[in-house]
Amino acid sequence: MFKEKEYELPAGYGDDRLILMVRDPYFLHAYWEIGEKKRLEIKEQQGNLIKAHRVLRVHHYSSSREEELSPAHFDIEVSGDIGSQYIQLERPDSICYVELGLVAEEGNFFTILKSNYVHTPPVPVGTSTGRK
C-alpha cells in the first residue's frame, strides 16, 4: 500500500509582515509575523519599554463624501510574534490600515510593522447589515 509522506507547515517563514484584508463591510482580518532580526531589535528597545504592551493600532478614515476625511484609531491588545486578528469596524466604506506596535506606560506608541491600506465596501441600499 502506498503511504504518503506527512509534511508539517512551518509556524512562520522568518519574514517581517503585517497583512490586512477586508472580510466584509464591517470586518477586517490582519495577520503578522515578526522575523528574527526585528525580534532582536524589539528586545533591545524593550529594555526602555519594560511595561509596554503590544497592540494592533487600527487607523480608519471615512471615505464618504458627506463626512470630512478625519482620521481615527483604536487599539487591540495582542501578543505573539506570529498571529492573526479579526477587527470589527463601526462603519462600512472606510479606508484602513493597521500598525503592530508597543504602547509605553506613558502612552507613547512605537511602530514595529505597518500594513497595507484597504477600503471596505459600502453596504448596498436596502441590504440588511445583520447588526443591531
CATH number of the CATH domain containing 41:
2.60.40.10
Are 59 and 28 spatial neighbours (Cβ–Cβ below 8 Å)? Answer: no
Q: How confident is the model at residue 116 (pLDDT cuts 50, 70, 90)?
A: very high
The answer to whether residue 72 is domain-embedded is yes
Phi then psi for residue 10, to 5 deg, are -70, 150
Domain count across the chain:
1
**pLDDT at position 43, please?**
79
**pLDDT at position 104, please?**
87
The answer to whether residue 47 is domain-embedded is yes
pTM of the model: 0.80
User: Which residue range(s) make up the domain with 69?
Assistant: 17-119
Q: 126 pLDDT exceeds 60?
A: yes
**Bigger pLDDT: 2 vs 115:** 115
The answer to whether residue 132 is domain-embedded is no
Alpha-carbon gap, residue 96 to 127, rounded angstroms: 23
Q: 132 pLDDT exceeds 70?
A: no
The answer to whether residue 12 is domain-embedded is no
**pLDDT at position 34, please?**
93
Alpha-carbon gap, residue 12 to 9, rounded angstroms: 8
